[in-house]
Amino acid sequence: MTERMMYKNHDEKEVARMEKELRYIAAIIKHNGRKILKNYTITPPQFIALQWLFEHGDMTIGELSNKMFLAFSTTTDLVDRMEANDLVKRIRDTKDRRVVRVQLLAEGKRIIAEVINKRRDYLNTVLSDFDNEEVKQFSQLLSKLHEEMKKDWKED
């Protein structure tokens, strides 16, 4: 346990409620995300891989497997299937020919951009009863929560 984790003792009921709400929200997002993906030829794990490549650029299979918490062999199979569907391609690193990177192709970019836009549209619909100030404040609090969680993520 880090010192930061022991720093504040928040109301246990509120923390329990937040954990439960976040868990339910994550499940709903996952469910709606899968509904959106049914209109595409990619699987949920492929979507996650494409999203990492879309947001962070070319990666080795090892880097991608670490980001996705998958075995190297599982990620290799995933990349094989995406490469067969012209979503990604393997490219040799120009500085070290032993290094092979996975690069997102135009079709992969198109699909991921469409799916993300549909997910954003869904969120915008859900937020329709929030005023602009509430949306801004909620967004800032989520960013703060994410930043705090990333500190623990790096400690592992």
Enumerate the domain spans of the chain: 9-155
CA 116, 120, 121, 123 torsion: positive or negative? positive
The amino acid at 77 = D
Percent of the chain residues topping a pLDDT of 90: 81
Categorize the per-residue pLDDT at 57 as very low, low, confident or very high, splitting at 50, 70 and 90. very high
Separation between Cα atoms, residue 17 and residue 93, nearest integer Å: 48
Categorize the per-residue pLDDT at 7 as very low, low, confident or very high, splitting at 50, 70 and 90. low
Categorize the per-residue pLDDT at 80 as very low, low, confident or very high, splitting at 50, 70 and 90. very high
What is the C-alpha radius of gyration for the chain, rounded to an integer number of angstroms? Answer: 19
Taking residues 140-156, what's their average pLDDT?
84
* pLDDT at 19 exceeding the cut of 50: yes
CA 42, 107, 69, 154 torsion: positive or negative? negative
Closest CA to 153 of 77, 36, 86, 69: 69
pTM of the entire predicted model = 0.80
CA–chain centroid gap for 112, Å, is 11
Q: What is the mean pLDDT of the chain?
A: 91
3-state SS class at 98? coil
> Under CATH, which architecture does the 9-155 domain have?
Orthogonal Bundle (1.10)
